[in-house]
A and B are shown apart, each in its own frame.
Chain A
Amino acid sequence: MTRQYAFHVDISKCTGCKTCQVACKDKNNLPSGIRWRRVFQYEGGEWIEKDGQMIPSNVFAYFVSSACMHCEKPICEQVCPTKATYKREDGIVLIDQDRCIGCRYCSWACPYGAPQFNPEINAMSKCTFCYDLIEKGESPACVDSCPFRAVDFGPLEEIRAKFGTFSSPAPLPKPDITHPAIVYTPNGSTKSSGDVSGQLKNIEEV
């Protein structure tokens, strides 16, 4: 068994369709408003007038698909007052919903907003890495679902060996808070955490 599972998302293949989000919801039967996987749309640039015509200046857009990062240093685990949140030996971070009292400290602490309160059960919920599927030798629902094969998973060392170590595309935060188990392959216009040239455009959707 690996010490740490990780996702890989190839931004240079992502069309922003959110099949990953929908497949996750279908597999995990999530109600409206709970999105364990979300897709951020980041956009920048401006329109300027040049020689009498309006032209785009550095206009760019890209999509960042993101779920729980199953961090190496999960801050959600540290802040949980009931020890409901825990990290497994394979690195997958889970919430024991029987222990969870729904206080939401984890949701406030997580820089990615991964844990989400589910009012139906009065407890927190989040991506489980589809550990049930992994244990059967299958892929997580999001990985299996991408029509453009942009999502992958594996042991963190292998994912890093294959795809590098970039883990912080804007609008995601810097990785030094929690050491997320994630690797992104950027496209040509991907900015890094802290970038102020663009904006998150779909805040209602994430």
Chain B
Amino acid sequence: MAKKNLLTETLNETLLNRRSFLKWSSALGGTAALTGGVNVGLKAVDKTAPASEDKTLTVSCYHNCGGRCVLGAVVKEGTVSRIVADPSKETKPDDPPRAIPCLRGRSQTRRVYAPDRLKYPLKRVGKRGEGKFERISWDEALDTIAGEMKRIKKQYGNESFYFHYASGTQWKGPDGRPPIRRLMRLFGGYTDYYNTYSTACYRAVMPYITGGSGNSANDVLNSNLIVLFGDNSVVNRNGGDNFGCYLLDAKKKGVKIISVDPMLTDTAVATEAEWIPIYPGTDVALIAALSHVIVEEDLYDKQFMKTHAVGFDEDTLPPDALRNSSWIAYIKGNADGVEKTPQWAEKITGIPANRIIQLARQIATSKPVAMFQGWGWQRRAYGEQPVRALPVLAAMTGNFGIKGGGPGMRPSGKRFPMGSMPLPPNPVKGRIPVFLWPDFITRGTEMTDGPRDRVKDVKRIKANMKFMWNHGGNTIINQHSDINLTKKILEDDSKLEFIVVVDNNMTPSAKFADILLPETTSFEIESLLTGEGHTEKGTVAWAIFNHKLIEPLYESKEIYWMCDQLANRLGIGDQFRDGHKNKKEWLLDMVAEARKKIPDFPSYEEFRKMGVYKIKDDKPTIAFENFVKDPKKYPLSTPTGKIEVYSPHLASQNDPKEIPAIPKYIPEWEGVSDPLRKKFPLLMVTAHAVQRSHSTFDNVDYLQEAHPQAFWINPLDAGKRGIKNGDQIKVFNDRGEVHLPAFVTNRVRPGVTNMPQGAWYTPDAKGIDTRGSANVLTKYYPTPFAKGNPQHTNLVQVEKI
């Protein structure tokens, strides 16, 4: 039964049950159904019933927003009736850490009970990607997968297996990524990847500038001035005690905030930041000019840059460096003859020279100044450069390693020492940069550790990809660049022969599965999660006990069960379980691990009752504080132990144009100065949207209604094209075409546009996307050093439909 209706079926039975239980009071008719009241549009609440009937239990979102907020789920008679804030309420509302969920967490019931929830195992019956499936049994699904695994292993070897990057499911341990990894390693291994789609450039070059992230988020309260470079934290990390909360606290305290960004972001609006609109991709030109002013006006810390940095000036260059290869030489134009003056930068960045001069003076004289970079600016054609440039500015102005200042990176976060599910070593060596996975399909055996592919741990990849696991991810089509190109590669099932997708919903990626497996959501499992690390919650971290609220819907199963069943079929069941009778025994191990590190941590059963366990440091973390005081005794983790304005390692790449030893402004392909702008005049970024965590939640009706997908364009650009706010438009370039409504706004600078990333690719018969899926227009072209994804560097044209 080829199932068109599997995709389009409307409200499922459970939702109908939920509805009929929580029905509008008026639907009860004219009878006095409500004790002591009239029908006013509340849910049917029987006020005579004892309050104890409602149980509020802790669960969490488990997606890639960095929030990990504590959701309280109000459960009544086997149904989740609504979501409330952290029910532990042990702290006052204004006292972190009370992780208040954002709109996404608040809509979680609409996601769990969504009409496109995957209900049964499915096998593909049409062309790959067409979305035609047939319902099969779990036995048939697992037998098919095990059979294909054995066949492909025999025919192509373990090197042809791949477990793809995915960030939609972020559980610790047996409900997250580890079970498939464990299974596949015991089965003989798979080719792995390195990098993420979030931070490829940031992580790749951090070891060659500072070696680490910045002060904790709560330290912004000690600043005199905060300068955000492409940082929209209130959207990207909306819920919980995240960076945005601290920025708002800082504003309230009177700290001045400046936002350098192509857009007047929600963060800038809420923090009433002064907006300095910049052309995207030109940040290093701005930072070079700021440095130029600060050096010319002698406002920098010369002594510090001598003792703590490599290659700021000619005297601190390594002995084998070329003459005039220092930062000072660069900004003075000693090597290339171009002095990096404010007037030079004005033409590139679009920021008036006098404003650049003023900003330079503000930064140089307002110490302590906290400068932060968002990750958006490194998801660009030369994303390695700005990541390394901002720390130079932070260091030369004396803000590195001081309270209220910082090194110009992201804020650091506190870790929670919860265990995970242990993994055996991967017998297959060799990792590809994740962004190059389509190349692993088309030319895997040509991929080497050379500059084109930068494969790690082996000289050359031994196979082409033949088998792909995709668990809780939308990056095999929606979140990867150039959807139309990727689609062609995936449609050819003689190349990549078998794709298994495990997910909750019928995502665009799920449509490319050969076997599609329905997984349980957070409401249907008992598990553990932590809020920590890059989530930027100041000096707070916590663990959450995720209660099982309802029975698994339809035939959805836990990933641990799926892998356990496959392990049996592959003859590695005992090794997979390693003496554990069930999933819970792995969770008990994780709690035991936490108890080793935190003696006070409760037992599993006590933790169940508590719901949330928080740890907190009293004082903000000041990154590199000791290094500043004594660089010899406390060197950085960089190869030289110092701030590497000049990186010997990057110099050794022998690609000075695209991988310079010092950060440089490199004009981008499809950037502000590309002649292609004659044909496609508008720069398009693909920023995060508040209604989604990447592509997760795009199917949720409450969120679509709250924030419909729309294309940001300045009134001057819209006016030239006869476009009014709300008009349906087409956005296109040589890679594809997208139709969506225009949001005509002064909040984006002229010449720049924004198509918020993550909307689900929805092609019409002609292959035109009808929903606003940004990656139809992005380019599959990796950054030079990190091999990262440049999904914010795009040129497009726009027309009214």
Contact = CB atoms under 8 A, between A and B. Distances in A.
Interface of A: 12-19, 21-23, 25-29, 32-33, 35, 43-47, 50-51, 53-56, 59, 61-63, 94-99, 118, 120-121, 123, 125-126, 128, 131-132, 135-136, 141, 144-149, 187-189, 201, 203-205
14 contacts: A27-B43, A29-B22, A43-B747, A47-B714, A61-B269, A62-B269, A97-B39, A98-B30, A98-B39, A128-B42, A131-B40, A147-B245, A148-B244, A205-B707
B244 A54 contact: no
B1 interface: no
A61 B747 contact: yes
B335 interface: no
In this complex, the member of B24, B41, B702 whose beta carbon has the largest number of chain A beta carbons within 10 angstroms is B41
Interface in B728-759: 741, 743, 745-747, 749-751
A53 B352 contact: yes
Contacts of B746: 43-47, 56, 59, 61
Contacts of B40: 94-97, 128, 131
Contacts of B743: 201
Contacts of B47: 132, 135
Nearest to A21: B706
Q: Which 5 A-B pairs have the closest CB atoms?
A: A97-B26, A97-B39, A19-B103, A22-B103, A15-B270
Interface string B261-297: 0001011011010010100000000000000000000
Interface residues of B, number: 73
B82 A27 contact: yes
B19 interface: yes
Contact of B706 (A22, A62, A135): A22
B126 interface: no
Given A27-B82, A29-B22, A97-B26, A16 B269 contact: yes
A203 B51 CA distance: 40
B269 A148 contact: no
A158 B787 CA distance: 58
Contacts of B100: 145-147, 149
B421 interface: no
Given A59-B264, A204-B726, A120 B39 contact: no
Given A94-B38, A94-B40, A97-B39, A15 B350 contact: no
Interface stretch (B235-243, B511-519, B599-607): B235-243
Given A132-B47, A145-B85, 16 more contacts: A17-B234, A18-B707, A19-B106, A29-B19, A47-B716, A55-B352, A63-B269, A95-B40, A97-B38, A97-B39, A144-B85, A148-B244, A149-B93, A204-B708, A204-B726, A205-B707
Given A50-B352, A204-B708, A95 B41 contact: yes
B152 interface: no
Contacts of A14: 270
A148 B277 contact: no
A27 B707 CA distance: 19
B770 interface: no
Contacts of A135: 47
A32 B248 CA distance: 32
